[in-house]
Structure 1
Amino acid sequence: MVLLTQRQQEILHAIMTATNGIGSHDLEKLTNISRRTLYRELADLKFFLQNQGLSLENKHRHYQITGDPTSLTQLQAQLQSTTKPTITSSQRHNAIGAILLQRDEPLKIASIALELQISEGSVQRTLDEVEKQLANYELTLIRKKGYGIQVQGDESQKRLLLCGILLSEINEYTFMKYLDSNQTTSDNFFLSLLDKNLLLLCRHALKPILDSVALNSDQQMIQLIILFSLAISCGGRGHHLKAQPADNHVLAYQAKVAEIVKTLPAKYQANITFQDIIFLAQQIQATDYIPLQFSLDRDQSFTITVQVQSFIREVSERFGRDFQNSPSFLRRLTKHIFNISQKNIQQLPNANIETLTALETDYPKLFSAIQFAWQKHFGQIQLSQPEFQLLLLYFANEFQRLNQNSLSALVICENGISASAMLISQLEKEFGEFKKITPLRVSNLATTNLDEYDIILSTLKLPGFKHEYLLVSPLITRQERQMIRSALAELQPQKKAEITPIVQHTAFELLAKETNFFDRAKDLLALTSLSQLNNQDLDLKASIALISQQIPTLITTQVDEIGQALFKRSQLAPIALPNSRIALLHTSNPHIRHCYFSIFDLKEPLTMITMDQESTQVSRFLLMLGPTDMDENQSKLMSLISSNIILNQDNLRLFEQGNLHEIQDNLAQRFIEYSQKIIKDHQS
């Protein structure tokens, strides 16, 4: 029997419980999905119902299920059953990826669909997403007609990706409870892919080393157990790691791994090669996190600084923007790369970190330049995909800084010096983007090269003036400030996601689309709040649990589950933002009905590790929640919020220290700028 996703079950339940059927508009509202997504789900359900001897019919614009009464009763019983595990549509690509990574032979789409109990169409639609995920690890998805589907690439990358998928889908509590129970199989699909006896054996064998290394979380302990079990199972199937140079930094850990291997049964010892021992030693060292101070002797300082300078020069040349002139940027990047090279810090895990992944989409050319330059200048150091994305964050922040203080403004005033001096003073105080502000009398307009200026401001109307200009007063009103901010935002290099021309919409469709976007934005900002959190004597887990209890019921009623998901995400990788005292709590979940953003000020700061592995005192949490399957407008709202926070130092300070009104106003302005850009692109 086909295993339905939670959303498909909700759709079927809604249709079956409606006396006279249910319309598509009501189904969209109920499931919080777009019309296109609804039709796709209905097409899959129609095929599913046919196999059950039932029909999905559209009578008078209302969907109904008809057929044999016995089959209808059986379907009703299946929907009411709570014992069968379900998978969400967002889990499909991870499930398919995990299956492909574990199999030795090519698989047919039909066999994958049968194993996951989903339709073949769902598998086909998900393969492109799987292929992109594999490409991040330099793995290739081979698709040949008559041959099947298979993953090819480096064995170590396969194991790291598989481990990352499993970690992202298995709750720590579920994992440990399963190992301590009498169950022979798990209801969790991803946990069921692993041999329980092998997991128990590895946990027991690893106990001495787990007691001797400084682990940050249970997630890291589970990671080591899974990687050891994969070494045994993959080696037993003849999948061995390729030879790699000796790593003197992990000799002590190699000795510990060798001792562990000796405690295994002989049949398992034979599966683990010397290359496995090096690989596992590197993973243990990466989890043995003891914060170290950044200190270099003279020779080390010279060598690493020269390498980093060459790396920055290479990125600058390939990207076409000079990053070489900031000593502070060089110092920060050198510190981070030195700690990576000396293995003083733990690399970010091989898992999807939404905040960083969005950067890769926004800055594809810069990301490509960083990857190329790294392979050229630090090719001996292998980085995880999130670690490359973290390097991108360094460069993207510097890129944003370079775009500030680089604009020139022309100020045209009717009575010359006095009004212009007042206006220039206000501009210098309010806007840090201007490197040069030039006052000009109207009488000198004809002899001035206006193309030299990025923006023109005037205190008087200029009928017939051929250049664009902004009409402002010498003291600059609040409305005029917003107008100038919007103009400056358009002058900054636009992100790829914001400059794609929308040619597929008519003007009417675009109006409807943008109206929906503004409605969602308005609803999000209306629910945004700034609360004081009394977290005195509470640790991170308890603080997050307290925050989850304050989520409005309009957003979700499953606050405990959301709290657990938020804490799990915080353990997967650092959530504190570099150079700040804020942390970004975020998750998506099928029980979340609408996008949600709010701020929580902590009564007692928490010591946390930032994304760039620095220690900081977090005094404010930013909470972002979204449904598992967000539509285009919901995804864009969340993307605009996160990028607005992390890619602009001024905004970072605002979100760190600002009040509720200032933050709401900032986000509203950002949403308006985005929508104006979309409409402008359509008109052009």
Structure 2
Amino acid sequence: MNKKQEELLTILIAEDDYINVEDITNRLKCSERTIRNYTKYINNWLNTFSNIYITRKSNLGIKLIDEKKEKNILNQKLRMEIKRVNSNIHTQIEILNLLLISNKTKVTISDICNVLYINKNIAREEINKLANNLKEYNLDLTIKKNSGIVISGDEKNIRIMLVDHICKYIEKFRLNMEDLDIFHIVDIVVSKNIMNMIEEKLNFRFTDTSFRQLMVFFIINIIRIRQGNLLPLSEEYNYDKDNNIIEIIEEIDCKLNTNLAISLNKSEKIFLVSLIYSMNKEGIDKDRLYIDKETEYYTKNIIYLVSKESGINFYEDVLLYDQLAFHINTTLNQLKNNVNIKNPILEEIKGKYYFLFNIVLDVIKNNKYKNITEDEVGYITLYFQVSLERRSRKREDIKRISIVCPHSFGVSTLLKVKIEKRFPNLTIVETIREEDLNNNKFNENIDFLVALRDYINIDIPTFITTPLFTKEDENKLTDFISNIKVKETSYNVLNKLMISDYFIQEIDFDDIFEAIKYLATSLHKKHYVKQEYIQSIIDREKICPTCIGNGILLPHGDIKFVKQSIFCFARLKKPIQLENGQVISIIIMLPYKNDDREEFRELFKEIDLLIDDNEMIKQLNGCNIKDIKHILI
């Protein structure tokens, strides 16, 4: 729906009587024929979720008919539609559609203006934003006099970029594939049938996120092949490890040829194999998992190094090895095939599990696979967090529940282990995908569902949680099952490590890096850290901002430059907004030595509680700075 259509619908919602068409054409500055076309489009849109429709009577005009009083639903839908259409990602999708997906041979700035209803200056700004974005994929956007606007680069990178943007768009606005005007319904149906066939033939399930990503890849591949944009010839891919894969690829080729008159060449077949191997799957039985020597070595090595760096004995957890090897097998396939799969909850993982995330990141970047992306580091971190949660869990089965999780196997497993640990009175019957839920392929003999969002057509009580199941989620679930327990929170370690009032202060800076440099320099002056620590903490923060939530920043430098462990607390007189949009009011700096890791793990647990303790954060931001230690007792 474009802006003029939104405006027309807004006018009709506000008016209870018929509106003269001439009045509307004057207000929208368009023709009567355009109003008729808009009306037809809006009625089709309304028909997808309500009984409301626009009617027209000669001599009277047009009117919104709402016999079942559904205008509230319409208002909500329209607000979401306006938010979607006015978003930056929607603008980029529309431009990418013109340049790479539609059959338009030449695209000019005027074309973009007409589609987005913007002037040329704004259109150039949007093009520049997209050009900067494309550099991440080694793609160039140029404006040529005779050719118009052109995106150039490796064809595989073009497809990966398109899939990343479209999946981000789908995730942000919870769209169905059929909601995307850029895709033809036949391409969608054929691709979905292929996806179901792959799962059936290989006898496993993709995660919801991977199912969606791979399906978008299929559709984009179809579109690009149809346009004649083929992948260049490449070396033969070795996929003998799975005897079914050759047969499956040939069946895919047959289906595409029969239904869409498209044939796959050798390079396209190799690319499809690499995509299937590179997607995250739900847990596979150990006996069915092929682990080569490289994967086995790397998995054991990363467990050993994370154990060494964290001081936590992970290498005795056999289940951790099995689950992590399964994921690393997929990760290494991604590296070999240059397929980067985005992690939709990366920022939440980096914020919630900063201690483990940064240890895993350091271990990976300092060893063989330096090119593993932060998206994958986030997933790997979750497996170690699952292991931590599993160490102390207890179970006493009373209520039966199922978990619906559209993200990776690691996310659903972490959610499962956390709930089992904190609610021993719950039995988790199964974890299911949204796809299974929508098709009624789940165990209905349960007391309630735990999900990341509500499902209108499911007549089972549903508890809504966030993917990482925070303290707030735990409290809400306690209320949900009518078993309220009040847990007191204290910050004993936090208070103990505030050695000197010199490191509890209020500071006034406009630039976050100047604030960090000032605090690190203070630590150096008091001989808690070496001078090199100052630059190391700034360099790390520029690469990976450590916003952990609730306005708290937790920057840290290289531990080899730490002379003595210390806790440094600073409150900003004026909050600072970072480039990622987050606003920081408190900076906590925690240089620590290897010898003190046990105590600092306890400290990180307290900080984890602090993030979710809204009342405490309110006190820390509003009190006299001299009272900080007293408040934390």
Higher relative contact order (CA 8 A, sep 6+): 1
TM-score (norm 1): 0.43
TM-score (norm 2): 0.46
